[in-house]
Amino acid sequence: MREFYYLAQQLWQRVPFRHALLLVIFLAGIKEQYPFSDFPMYSHLDAESDVLYVTDQEDNVLPMEKLFGTGASTQKKVFMTELKSICNPKKRDTRDALPEEKQQAGIQLMDKLMPKLKRDKLAAMGATATSLRIYYKVYTLDAGNISSGKSQLVAERAL
Partner 1 sequence: MTFLMTESTSTDTTGHKSTLGANVFHWGAFEMFFMRLGFAALVFIAIKWEIGSLGPADPKKLTGLAHFINLDGLRNLHSIWIWQTITGLGLLLYVAGILPVLGLAPALFFSIGVGTLANSQGAANHSTQLVSMLLLGQFIVFLLPKIRRVPLTASSWFQPSTSLLQRSIYVSLVIFVAGYVVCGYSKLNNSDWQWIQRVPNLALELQKSNWSSYYDTLQPVPESLETVVNLMTKYPNWARVFFGAGLFIELFTFVALIGRRSSFFTGIVIIILHLSISRLMQLDFYYHMAAALIFLVNIPGIRETFAPKKRWF
The CA-CA-CA angle for residues 139, 106, 83, to 5°, reads 70
- Using rule CB under 8 A, residue 152 touches partner 1: no
d(CA 81, CA 2): 51
d(CA 19, CA 34): 20
d(CA 17, CA 78): 37
Nearer to partner 1 (CB atom), residue 146 or residue 159: 146
Using CB under 8 A, which of 7, 8, 23, 159 touches partner 1? 23
Interface region with partner 1, contact rule CB under 8 A, candidates 25-33, 89-97, 151-159 = 25-33
Using CB under 8 A, which of 57, 140, 151, 152 touches partner 1? 140
Tell me the CA distances in angstroms from 108 to 4, 80, 88, 120, 156, one per residue in order. Answer: 58, 11, 16, 24, 11
- Using rule CB under 8 A, residue 1 touches partner 1: no
d(CA 59, CA 129): 10
Using CB under 8 A, which of 1, 11, 45, 158 touches partner 1? 45
User: Mask 91-110, x = binds partner 1 (CB under 8 A)?
Assistant: --------------------
- Using rule CB under 8 A, residue 56 touches partner 1: no
Pairing status of strand 61-62 against strand 48-56: antiparallel
Using CB under 8 A, which of 2, 3, 33, 96 touches partner 1? 33
Q: Which residues bind partner 1 (CB under 8 A)?
A: 13, 16-20, 23-24, 27-28, 32-54, 61-66, 69-78, 81-82, 85, 112, 115-116, 139-141, 144-146
